[in-house]
Amino acid sequence: MALSIQDAEILRTRVRPLVTEDLMRRARARPAPPYDPDIAEVLDFVRRNPDPDLPRYAILRLPDGYAVAVRAATPGQPPEPLDARRHPDRGAAEHAVLEQRLRDYGIDW
């Protein structure tokens, strides 16, 4: 990972301890604002994507649902679906992005 020293410390001391089964359950139940303060803190960290070596994600609306996609490294290229999973609504896809970003940082819950 290419996190700055400060971001590595934020991940270790602030973000990692907040991610629990309970937080993930609450985040899944409410994928749109307003968020509880602890969920907002986790989302703020993962959404600003402080590690340039990690993928950036997008949500694609497809005929059979919503898909999580990886943004292309080359400007102008379309995003590629991460996998074959489809989500029934945007909220479920947003939660899937949160889960993927946490996995990228090695956080299990």
Q: What is the pLDDT of residue 85?
A: 96
| pLDDT exceeds cutoff 70 at 87 | yes
41 belongs to a structural domain: yes
12 belongs to a structural domain: yes
Asked whether the beta carbons of 58 and 67 are under 8 A apart, the reply is no
User: Minimal CA–CA distance to 94: which of 10, 41, 24?
Assistant: 24
As a whole number, mean pLDDT of residues 73-81 equals 91
56 belongs to a structural domain: yes
State which H helix or E strand residue 55 sits in.
none
Q: What is the pLDDT of residue 49?
A: 72
Cα separation, 89 vs 52, in Å, equals 28
Q: What is the pLDDT of residue 8?
A: 94
85 belongs to a structural domain: yes
Q: What is the pLDDT of residue 74?
A: 87
Range of the domain at 68: 5-104
| pLDDT exceeds cutoff 60 at 1 | no
| Tens of pLDDT, residues 17-72 | 999 999 999 999 998 899 999 999 999 999 987 788 899 999 999 999 999 999 99
Domains contained in the chain, number: 1
33 belongs to a structural domain: yes
Whole-angstrom CA distances from 53 to 3, 28, 89 are 9, 27, 29
109 belongs to a structural domain: no
77 belongs to a structural domain: yes
